[in-house]
Amino acid sequence: MKRSLDSLALFGGAPRFAEPLHVGRPNIGDRQALLRRIEDMLDRRWFTNNGPLVQELEQRLVELTGARHAVAMCNATIGLDIVSRAIGLAGEVILPSFTFVATPHALQWQGIRPVFCDVDPLTHNIDPARIEELITPRTSAILGVHVWGTPCDVAALSGIARRRGLHLLFDAAHALGCSRGGRMVGRFGEAEVFSFHATKFINSFEGGAVTTDDDALAKRMRDMRNFGFAGYDRVDWLGINGKMTEVAAAMGLTCLESIDSIVATNRANWHAYEAGLRDVPGLALHAYDASERCNWQYVVVEVDAVTAGLDRDLLVEVLHAENVLARRYFYPGCHQMEPYRSRYPHAGRVLPETERLTERVLSLPSGTAVTPATVEQVCELMRFVVGHGPEIRARSGRR
């Protein structure tokens, strides 16, 4: 049936999809395996405090990443807090603004000043060429973020950190199961922090982990996640309650058992989007390096408003009306959020690529709740919208 502008839900038509399509809808894995783990947990009556499921999850993460240690946490934000304190960061830390706000928050919460660095326009990761100019006598570390699961330029960042005597950490929330130069994410820098939030491709309902090859650092983090206890009645560190629960670990283990099938689904969906959007003017799909291991979790599109005939925000508005709940990432940039916007009002002047990306990037639904057939329908809708971009913009009252 031939579509018309009046068929769009934004202009009075019925939504194209009866049920909402979400970005990051949780993957579940084998439901029966999860329930068996929970039943065993109930029988043991061991729900937290470094139980056997948490220990097993940590061992599985060690096997996957190749790191010497994996320290499970209640979430990745607490993981960032604990590793920063365990390493002894202070003063200023250089990191991208193009990230989830938890990354700078974990530093600011401890009185460490986040210093925002611009990103590479192709990889969307922190740009090593822009770091040196931001280093001051107060700088203690560089915190890279592996955006979309594409690892940072680790070699360049390691060289800067080594030359300038800085710590090097990575926020690897997007990057479990990914590699750079054939080496798995999890062993770069002094430590890497993973997220197992429900929206991540491997989730533990809510959770995270920090990986490291440093034995002493791992020991400090294990103590600090348990209030600083180093023994039965001995406290050696300022700690907090950062422990992962057994039921969270049960979910994490169940998802890890399905990692190959989840990745295969993500890959199939990404390639379906790539085929469906290949010739749509003004839309550029963020590509992955097929020679490396990748989780293919994020389907990211940059929108060129001039070529597409409408801007990213109007495209998102149309998609939302049709029940395709695309997301603007990482809008509007951490430097535009509080408390950073008030404290550093001119930060955007040195972040041109970051500000460009926050106006152009959107993430499309994927994961095991989406099929290639559904992706094809989403692409058909996007082709139609872009094909009528100027008319849609005019009817919506946008310039």
CB-count burial class (<10 Å; 0-12, 13-18, 19+) for 3: middle
Write out the H or E segment, with its range, that includes residue 208. Answer: strand 208-212
Tokens of 354: 């970051």
pTM here is 0.96
Residue 127, CA distances (Å) to 73, 219, 271, 353 in order? 29, 32, 28, 10
The reported pLDDT for the residue numbered 4 is 87
Is 95:131 a contact under the CB 8 Å cutoff? no
Angle between helical axes of 259-277 and 246-257 (0-180°, round to 10): 60
Residue 55, CA distances (Å) to 50, 209, 381 in order? 7, 12, 46
The reported pLDDT for the residue numbered 2 is 67
Q: What are phi and psi of 46, to 5 degrees?
A: -125, 100
DSSP 126: B
Q: Sign of the C-alpha dihedral, residues 221, 223, 226, 227? A: negative
Tokens of 94: 């250089």
d(CA 40, CA 37): 5
pLDDT truncated to tens, each residue of the chain (399 aa)? 468 899 999 999 999 999 999 999 999 999 999 999 999 999 999 999 999 999 999 999 999 999 999 999 999 999 999 999 999 999 999 999 999 999 999 999 999 999 999 999 999 999 999 999 999 999 999 999 999 999 999 999 999 999 999 999 999 999 999 999 999 999 999 999 999 999 999 999 999 999 999 999 999 999 999 999 999 999 999 999 999 999 999 999 999 999 999 999 999 999 999 999 999 999 999 999 999 999 999 999 999 999 999 999 999 999 999 999 999 999 999 999 999 999 999 999 999 999 999 999 999 999 999 999 999 999 999 999 999 999 999 998 876
d(CA 275, CA 372): 11
Residue 182: CB atoms within 10 Å: 8
Encode 136-159: b = buried (16+ Cβ within 10 Å), e = exposed.
Answer: eeebbbbbbbbbbbbbbbbeebbe
Is 16:9 a contact under the CB 8 Å cutoff? yes
Q: What are phi and psi of 194, to 5 degrees?
A: -110, 150
The reported pLDDT for the residue numbered 3 is 80
Q: Which domains does the chain have, with CATH numbers?
A: 31-257 (3.40.640.10), 259-396 (3.90.1150.10)
SS3 297: coil
Is 286:230 a contact under the CB 8 Å cutoff? no
The reported pLDDT for the residue numbered 1 is 45
What's the number of CA atoms in the CB half-sphere (13 Å) around residue 115?
A: 18
Helices and strands in the chain: count of H runs, count of E runs: 14, 16
